[in-house]
Amino acid sequence: MANPRVLILRGPGTNCDRETAFAFEQAGAAAAPVHINRLISGDERLGDYDILVIPGGFTYGDDIAAGKVLANELMLRLGEQVHRFISDGRLVLGICNGFQVMVKAGILPGAKSREEYDITLTNNDSNRFECRWVHLNVVPGSPCVFTRGIERMYLPVAHAEGKLVTSPQVLPSLPVALRYDSPDGGTATYPLNPNGSVADIAGICDATGRVFALMPHPERYIRQMQHPRWTRGEGGEPGDGFGIFTNAVAFARG
């Protein structure tokens, strides 16, 4: 088939759309940053794309709470299109602010409505913006399409509201795809878990594995020279994050 079409959703305050589009293009997709107003006006149609991505940034200044305003706008103005897109078996990826949006819109983990959250993302335990690199472990047996064939990753985070919280009743059934980890396999205490997320959760998916969101930024490490110590010979080619994008493109070509 032709190169899969990827819609990189933009809004006021989005700032990782170009890096995310570049990563998908390097993986063989045709990526287009599209402002949400163009979808609302009908100038663009979500159904014309194979993959929807909500990238990182600080949409609407993270007013009220991180991702909350865009989540409301997305579901109130485009909710039917989004639900149809998912039910058609297409892929959805949220990165950092995109994770916050997807949780607060009820897209993940699949709440019946925006008001029936099973989880939320809130302020980091450190009460400050965390910008650092973290070790990640892909949960064995996860149905997540985006992490297939990947065991571990080393990626950067940059967020102030990345702590995932949920109830003890929900946690056992939560489809966790990615956890913060220690390089030696030990406990991921701060700063290895940069925000205090329950059970060291860094990313979750839906039951199908086609809808996935994570707090770390895979688009910021797709080449060795993006590794913080690449001049010392550390890191690999391609970067650890690149597999997220190649997996998505391969699935969309399916």
Q: Which residues are catalytic?
A: 96, 217, 219
For residue 151, the tally of other CB atoms under 10 A from its CB is 9
Beta-strand pair 201-205/119-122: unpaired
What is the number of alpha carbons within 13 Å of residue 123 lying toward its C-beta?
A: 5
- Which whole-number Å values give the CA distances from 7 to 37, 41, 174, in the listed order? 13, 16, 27
Cβ(20)–Cβ(31) below 8 Å? yes
Distance CA 89, CA 99 (A): 19
